[in-house]
Structure 1
């Protein structure tokens, strides 16, 4: 079951602590034989699982202990304590934590967005087709809501005037409303979108992946149809103590991402022991996760643009300001 807790790590439902101290203990001494690596359930974690299981970091560490986490509270607590030093996270969460005083950096982006509008109406193919309609939405005033609302505004549609939003607490609730027929359209992330289409078939209903909000982002920026949704967050302790490991990990992300994209079925089989989702569904979701492995410093402009757009409607989402330049590795 996809709950708020499990989904937050995949998309962007994290809510950072209101106050985070600046003193964080070191996890382990340099040269530790084990690298602790954490990731969300599916999405970029398929790549992380491949890196861990195929020994891509054997030149830097004896073993990679990869764990899939489900709770944003656990993610936050792990970094505050120093027990966690490398984890997948929504990009704005890393910015928020850095602005709260936590010594973390953004290493890369591993997903260029994985938000979709699902619909029973096969004729819906663009934001304009949702005029006069009701759309299911989860996490009011959080990243998915802000992304969708901004895309709609850039297409001349205003919530409450040209269309209405039916807010629910979780993507699972939105999916249930869609499958029950109580709503015709809803915004869902991966892997919930793939799950919705698969589930629709099992109950004899046609559910369409109508709009890819990643592609629609071009209407917002005037540039690429993509937004830097999620990537890897690194603690400064690991960066200072084992910089060669961090660089090796980034190279492994590039290699792993290309392999996963080219071999989704095999990748799903490798990751199915770590990720709580059927392997066939993992494989189906991979092409829709828009996997990448681009260094944060190389796409700093896109990250800052994304943060600024989100902050126009909710400044607290990134902690009230853009991160410092050295946040982007």
Structure 2
């Protein structure tokens, strides 16, 4: 008899009451068991939630087998989505909107972070976006969410990235952080957990690297709203919905519970996520409080999402396929 067979909903909840098990699902199961539930995400904050839910056995009553796999860059994500290999993944909201508007059958189920972008530097004279004038900065993922958001913030503050800054484009946030530590740039745009990695590695090297600009706060100042960047969420392809759509409410319920657990016990969550994300436990533990992790239904987050997309979409909304996503994008 397997552990899954033994762990019925009743005895799982009994174990939970005793403090020795993870909560699974509220109320009764609503769908047939999935043979294999494959979840994907970047090596960043929201994926800690997925990896932790898998490690905790949160999907035991949803799937015979559940796994989490990290993708390493946006191109790898897009290839997996278009090939059908990836059906359920944490995806940058802007990328999901762009794919949807261009005809790819993808929908947004929830938002899993309210923003995890920071500018780090040793230079304490940099305290705001305007202070980047005349500085050198490493920026990752050219043409994708971090660079687009920074560009919009620069424009709002009257800075031209072509003439007012010396930008070095990096392949990933980790590479951007490494350029800073190598003193090839004065600042770096990073996303958690590479932000925390830069601070910790800098400390080891005798450097005082800090978060000098919180891009979420800068975004709120620009838009006159809350400091919220609904940067990434769980995206679902039509292929997954066709095969397993009835299970999606239960999957999202597990993720809501898992998010609360990650925030309540970052060190345990870091232990669960360390191997699949390929990142050290101390780094993830220190990073989680700065990831602004949430589990907001996409429909409820729509106003924040549309505000972000409008601001970052560019001329004629070209960066998101020419329009805001319609009602069908939001699950």
Q: Normalised by the size of structure 2, how large is the TM-score?
A: 0.83
Distance in 2 separating the partners of 1:263 and 1:242:
31
Q: Which structure would you say has the larger Rg?
A: 2
Unmatched 5+ stretches in structure 2: 1-31
Deviation at 1:227, TM superposition (A): 1.0
Q: Normalised by the size of structure 1, how large is the TM-score?
A: 0.83
Residues 277, 304 of structure 1: alpha-carbon distance in 2 compared, 3 angstrom cutoff? same
Say yes or no: does 1:152 pair with 2:149: no
Say yes or no: does 1:222 pair with 2:224: yes
Distance in 1 separating the partners of 2:63 and 2:142:
42
Distance in 2 separating the partners of 1:172 and 1:200:
13
Deviation at 1:74, TM superposition (A): 3.8
Distance in 2 separating the partners of 1:137 and 1:271:
26
- Indicate which of 256, 260, 268 corresponds to 1:266: 268
Do the aligned residues in 1 keep the contact of 2:33 with 2:61 (CA within 8 Å)?
A: no
Residues 209, 76 of structure 1: alpha-carbon distance in 2 compared, 3 angstrom cutoff? same
Deviation at 1:141, TM superposition (A): 4.1
Distance in 2 separating the partners of 1:205 and 1:237:
48
CA RMSD of aligned residues (A): 2.2
Do the aligned residues in 1 keep the contact of 2:41 with 2:91 (CA within 8 Å)?
A: yes
Deviation at 1:105, TM superposition (A): 0.6
Aligned to 2:39: 37
SS at match of 1:33: strand
SS at match of 1:217: helix
Unmatched 5+ stretches in structure 1: 1-29
Residues 138, 50 of structure 1: alpha-carbon distance in 2 compared, 3 angstrom cutoff? closer
Aligned to 2:184: 182
Aligned to 1:77: 79
Do the aligned residues in 1 keep the contact of 2:44 with 2:191 (CA within 8 Å)?
A: no
- The CA deviation string for residues 21-56 of structure 1, in whole angstroms up to 9 with x for no partner, is xxxxxxxxx743221111212311110011111122
Deviation at 1:260, TM superposition (A): 0.5
**Number of residue pairs matched by the alignment:** 300
Aligned to 2:137: 135
Do the aligned residues in 1 keep the contact of 2:33 with 2:64 (CA within 8 Å)?
A: no
Aligned to 2:10: none
SS at match of 1:62: strand
SS at match of 1:83: coil
Distance in 2 separating the partners of 1:124 and 1:189:
18
Deviation at 1:276, TM superposition (A): 0.6
